[in-house]
Amino acid sequence: MRPNRFGPALPKTTPFTLGDSFILCGVAALLYVGHHLAFHAPAAISGPDVSLSPYLLPWYALLSVGRMAAAYLLSLCFSLFYGYAAARRRTARVVLMPLLDVLQSIPILSFLPVVLLSLTAIMPDYLAAELAAIILIFTSQAWNMTFSFYQSMTTIPGDLREAAAIFRFDGWTRFKTMELPFAAMGLLWNSMMSWSGGWFFLMAAEIFHIGSRDFRLPGLGSYLQTAASRGDTAAVLMGVATLVSLILLLDQLVWRPLVVWCNKFKIEMLEGEGPPTSWFYDLLGRSWLVDFVGRRVWQPFLDRVDRLETSRPSTVIIAMPGEVSGQAAFSFPFLAALGSLAVAIFYGSWQAVSLLWGVPLPVWGEVFSGLFATFLRVCAALAVALLWTVPVGVAIGTNRRLARILQPMVQVVAAIPATALFPILLLALLATPGGLNIAAITLMLMGTQWYLLFNVIAGASAIPQDLLQTTALLRLPPAERWRTLILPALFPYIITGAITASGGAWNASIVAEYVEFGGRTHSVTGIGALIARATAGNDYALLLAATLLLVVTVVVINRIFWQKLYRLAEERYRLE
């Protein structure tokens, strides 16, 4: 490790900027527009019945996987374009990174009612529910993948960047041969985490209640939600067994082959002992059909993309990430559109302020006290997650034999929706002192600890074998080995995982602090419980107040704390 001689890539940290205020006004305006459209939504909506017959489980699983796949493809495209633009251009970063802070801090379960009711006002109920479910799953997958790709783009070793400049790579060649391969390992492990995060919110995505409106979609998530609400333990266990079988199948057919394929992008001088293997990857490698499609379809397609990209007039990119600024020519139509957008945001935010003006002062006091209570639970969940994920993630990422055993187990446990097992856990904890608070922290931990674990595994897997063998030859004590190599190498990944884990904990507070099981409602003091209560009672003023306050709090925490650690990771802890 050595300090980054190219200087900091992030702009100066400020708690809250004018751009943040503009973005926050846009969010408030969007919420108001959705609130206005909600009045035109049908007064009563009832989705199709969800049968608990075990014979329908394969069909329900197929429907859920289709929604997850659609959301994942959107998340991957979003992460690549957004992360690249934020890392490569300083002017874009000034807008994109604050916007990403706001987006990942918005609790989607508080935004979903507005999205659902707005969509039902302009399209059929079933299509609106499908799109809303995909949007919800997308928001549970996209942010950690974007942060991971952005972190990889800003921590590329200087010698690789210098080599790309010496060979005069254009932007497309640089992206294809250096930037994307360098980010592949972190992007893959965060893809696994994103898929697991999608399972966590699947139950909320496929069944959602807004007052008298009952939105539901047939799927594995709605099956588990229905079984849990009816207290049918046998159906819950059958649904979980189907989910576990599906996770194991995806691990063997998708994720394990991708881990083997991505291992070739690892930067090291020596090959590690016991490289990852996959029977399905080997089977595909011997397949005549795969070879034929690769030679006749995939390779010609890549060649055509290369020709299209290289035929465009472009300049050789020699600047470091974040140093490409460019001079934008602002035409009159662009300025007119920007002015119209500013006027619309100002009007919508003004209407949102008038809606917030009607919130009584005692309610504001309840919102602030709930925010503080949820903040303490988020800190507790994050601290517990850090204590166990770092050593376990290092063990999995640096020991191939252990990884072959534990990786599928971790994926299975991470992908089981905690919301499916939470009612059973809640019943066990209700009789204990502080049971509801402990249960809320437990659910937040179950939903967010995997963001940290998967990022630590990705970071540990990316440590070059020659460095690990050097520490072994020097016979460094374990504490010295962790201090000089492992923790510095993991630092950027830990920060990325902690940011997404804390954002996930704030989101999970909505389902952790307000639970319905067996016809009864259990809740604790917290901002998540207030958002859930406002959603159930159609109290849009309280929903807007709690959501905006939560967004502002998360953004300020990110700017004061997490962004400084991000800059430290870019300046000092980069493999060179």
pTM for the structure as a whole: 0.71
Confidence of residue 76 (pLDDT cuts 50, 70, 90): very high
pLDDT value, residue 137: 85
pLDDT at position 9 over 50: no
The average pLDDT across 190-215 equals 72
Q: Which residue has the higher pLDDT, 196 or 117?
A: 196
Residue 108 CB: number of other CB atoms within 10 A? 21
DSSP annotation string for 169-236: --HHHHIIIIIHHHHHHHHHHHHHHHHHHHHHHHHHHHEEEETTEEEE--SHHHHHHHHHHTT-HHHH
Domain annotation for the chain: domains and CATH numbers: 45-266+360-572 (1.10.3720.10)
Q: Summarize pLDDT for 299-327 with one digit per residue, the tens.
A: 787 777 777 766 665 544 444 444 444 44
Q: Summarize pLDDT for 529-552 with one digit per residue, the tens.
A: 888 777 767 677 787 788 888 888
Q: How far apart are CA 120 and CA 126, in angstroms?
A: 9
Q: Summarize pLDDT for 159-201 with one digit per residue, the tens.
A: 888 888 888 887 788 888 888 888 888 888 788 878 877 777 7
pLDDT at position 419 over 70: no
Instruction: Point out which residues pair with 209 in neighbouring strands.
Output: 214
Least confident piece of the model among 45-59, 77-91, 406-420: 406-420
Q: Which residue has the higher pLDDT, 472 or 78?
A: 78
pLDDT at position 212 over 70: no
pLDDT at position 107 over 70: no
Q: Summarize pLDDT for 269-299 with one digit per residue, the tens.
A: 555 556 677 888 888 877 788 778 778 887 7
Instruction: Point out which residues pair with 523 in neighbouring strands.
Output: 514
pLDDT value, residue 1: 43
Tokens 């409602």, residue located: 521
Q: Summarize pLDDT for 548-565 with one digit per residue, the tens.
A: 888 888 878 877 887 788
Confidence of residue 74 (pLDDT cuts 50, 70, 90): very high
Least confident piece of the model among 37-46, 329-338, 428-437, 503-512: 37-46
Least confident piece of the model among 185-189, 375-379, 416-420: 416-420
pLDDT value, residue 108: 64
pLDDT value, residue 317: 46
Please state, rounded to an integer, the average pLDDT across all residues of the chain: 75
pLDDT value, residue 319: 46
pLDDT value, residue 103: 73
Confidence of residue 214 (pLDDT cuts 50, 70, 90): low
pLDDT value, residue 316: 45
Is the separation of the CB atoms in 101 and 562 below 8 Å? no
Residues contacting residue 73 through CB under 8 Å, at least 6 positions apart? none
pLDDT value, residue 72: 92
Pairing of strands 520-523, 514-517: antiparallel
pLDDT at position 3 over 50: no
Q: Which residue has the higher pLDDT, 210 or 142?
A: 142
pLDDT value, residue 325: 45
Tokens 């600890």, residue located: 449
Q: Summarize pLDDT for 425-474 with one digit per residue, the tens.
A: 666 666 666 667 777 787 788 777 888 888 888 888 878 777 878 887 88
Q: How far apart are CA 527 and CA 538, in angstroms?
A: 16
Question: 543: which 2 tokens?
Answer: 């929903």
Q: How far apart are CA 301 and CA 75, in angstroms?
A: 23
Q: How far apart are CA 245 and CA 247, in angstroms?
A: 5
